Amino acid sequence: MLTIFDPEHASPTPTRSSRKSGFSRRNFLKIGAMGAAGLTLPQLLSLEAQAGIQRSTKSVILVYLVGGPPHQDLWDLKPDAPSEVAGPMRPISTNVPGIEVCELLPRTAQMMDRFTIIRSLCDAQSGHDAIQCYTGRTRGGRTPSGGWPQFGSAVARTQGPAVPSTPPYISLCYTCTHGPYNEPGAGFLGPAYNGFRPLGDTKQDMVLNGITTDRLGDRKQLLTSFDQFRRQVDASGAMEGMDSFTEQALGVLTSSRLAEALDLSNEDPRVVERYGTGDPTKFMDGNGAPRVPQSFLVARRLVEAGARVVTVNYSKWDWHGGANNSIFKREREDFPAFDQGITALVEDLHQRGLSDDVSVLVWGEFGRTPKISAQVGRDHWPRVAGALLAGGGMQTGQVIGATDRLAGEPVDRPVKFQEVFATLYHNLGIDVTTATIPDLNGRPQYLVDTGVKPMRELI
């Protein structure tokens, strides 16, 4: 919950020492207990003071397609394969000669020169778990005590805030009832490096002097509340003894930058319409995420406000039930909505001059079986999966990797999840060959495994 210190509980005539200790992070300004794990804002902001941190204005928007999207129906269609493999979806040409995508992605097809498709992710896990999509690592193998931090947490620890009034890592992910679908968290870095979570169930925790996030659009009431609070703090002398990081944390709360970025009523209605909208209260299939393409627009607004990493979970892609073709019914619902939202985001980034500064990554935890089963449709398939990238100054208008005639095995340029993360770190200005973060024992841990490098095809 968000807590603002109440001056009535302070000593009426604070001493010099009480100004230093009585107005601590603990009882002055705290943001925490947001969902399963919290974020202490002064701790977060104190990262800015670490020596040797490379500052940049580069950002990443990471979109997790919950449940594992069918790569062979989206970006790697095999129209010449047997019908039980190819399915009913047909490929269409794009504005890049030789590249085809699903007929339900016409906007992506028209903008293929601004995207890159990876068709050969080769080291996916087999179970429903978001961990690899957020960390590059699975739950097996070498794991330090506390667990690996996810990408946004590692960036927050390595680079700190780009601007004092915006947390470096913001999660727009909704909490799914299936626990492994949710972000794994900051691992050994601790809860101070979890993403700031302004949406979903945690909205009720964001309360400031009677102002909730649903009422942040009322600028006059919000500013009146802040003005009164500032006068009370100044009168008590608390500002004189406040440590610099708590003072910066107060700046986050009293700045309108973050609140305005989250408030889509500030956006041109024509832009909102371009992205499309969905119901944030409807969790797909009960345990997936809502299908809300407006999250892509909020993500764009947040990187403009200074966020380095924004994560989004989108819809539910674990479709089964081949006997009644329910998988293809869902594809006809989900593909066009996704196509509209993701192309609006990439087009927006280009129009606003952000295409070189903001990297976009879209993927899920694995691919789907080549053969369509009458019992389970397209089942889990870890042997190959796909991804979609854009922006970040990357080389776009290309396909990386290839699969066999059934889209079941990589046959050219197998790509690992960590290679993609190494590329994103590179785009942010972080050298994965030298950058480390300390684990719980103080040992330096590299951001990706030794030897993993950014993808030469993209940079």
- Tokens coding 157: 């620890």
Question: Which of 97, 134, 123 minimizes the C-alpha distance to 112?
Answer: 97
Question: For a pLDDT cut of 90, what percent of the chain falls above it?
Answer: 68
Residue 75 forms part of a structural domain: yes
Tell me what pLDDT residue 214 has: 57
Contact yes or no for 178/152 (Cβ under 8 A): no
Tell me what pLDDT residue 327 has: 85
Residue 43 forms part of a structural domain: no
The strand pairing partners of 170, in sequence order, are: 196, 310
Q: Distance between CA atoms of 317 and 340, rounded to whole angstroms?
A: 17
Tell me what pLDDT residue 229 has: 59
- What angle do helix axes 417-427 and 151-159 make, rounded to 10 degrees? 30
Residue 194 forms part of a structural domain: yes
Mean pLDDT of all residues in 4-27: 37
End-to-end CA distance of the chain, in Å? 41
Q: What is the DSSP letter of 150?
A: P
Burial status of residue 286 (CB atoms within 10 A of its CB: 0-12, 13-18, 19 or more) = exposed
Residue 234 forms part of a structural domain: no
Question: Which of 229, 208, 232, 230 minimizes the C-alpha distance to 12?
Answer: 232
Q: Distance between CA atoms of 3 and 381, rounded to whole angstroms?
A: 46
- Give the SS3 label for residue 17: helix
Tell me what pLDDT residue 51 has: 38
Q: Distance between CA atoms of 260 and 195, rounded to whole angstroms?
A: 18
Residue tagged 């994965």 (tokens) = 432
pLDDT band at 30 (very low <50, low <70, confident <90, very high): very low
Tens of pLDDT, residues 438-448: 999 999 999 99
Tens of pLDDT, residues 404-417: 999 999 999 999 99
The one-letter amino acid code at 218 reads D
- Indicate if the pLDDT at residue 31 is higher than 50: no
DSSP per-residue codes, 190-254: -GGGSPB--SGGGGGG-EETTEEGGGTT-HHHHHHHHHHHHHHHHHHTHHHH--HHHHHHHHHHH
Tell me what pLDDT residue 226 has: 56
Question: Which of 450, 440, 390 minimizes the C-alpha distance to 118?
Answer: 390
Question: Which of 362, 264, 256 minimizes the C-alpha distance to 313?
Answer: 362
Residue 9 forms part of a structural domain: no
Residue 8 forms part of a structural domain: no
Mean pLDDT of all residues in 178-185: 96
Q: Distance between CA atoms of 242 and 259, rounded to whole angstroms?
A: 24
Tell me what pLDDT residue 420 has: 98
Length of the chain: 459
Spatial neighbors of 79 by CB under 8 A, at least 6 apart, are 86, 90, 91
Question: Which of 237, 248, 250 minimizes the C-alpha distance to 20?
Answer: 237
Question: For a pLDDT cut of 70, what percent of the chain falls above it?
Answer: 75
Instruction: Output 436-441 pairs: Cβ under 8 A, ≥24 positions apart.
Output: 437/149, 437/154, 437/157, 437/158, 437/189, 439/144, 439/145, 439/146, 439/188, 440/144, 440/145, 440/146, 440/188, 441/144, 441/145
Range of the domain at 371: 59-198+257-446
- Give the SS3 label for residue 20: helix
Contact yes or no for 159/452 (Cβ under 8 A): no
- Tokens coding 81: 């394969």
Mean pLDDT of all residues in 91-104: 98
CATH of the domain at 93: 3.40.720.10
The strand pairing partners of 143, in sequence order, are: none
Spatial neighbors of 206 by CB under 8 A, at least 6 apart, are 1, 2, 198, 212, 213
Question: Which of 354, 355, 350, 384 minimizes the C-alpha distance to 367?
Answer: 384
Spatial neighbors of 282 by CB under 8 A, at least 6 apart, are 290, 291
Contact yes or no for 64/286 (Cβ under 8 A): no
Tell me what pLDDT residue 80 has: 96
Spatial neighbors of 244 by CB under 8 A, at least 6 apart, are 49
Residue 1 forms part of a structural domain: no
- Indicate if the pLDDT at residue 162 is higher than 70: yes
| Weakest-pLDDT range from 73-77, 164-168, 348-352 | 164-168
Residue 183 forms part of a structural domain: yes
Mean pLDDT of all residues in 218-231: 58
Q: How many domains does the chain have?
A: 1
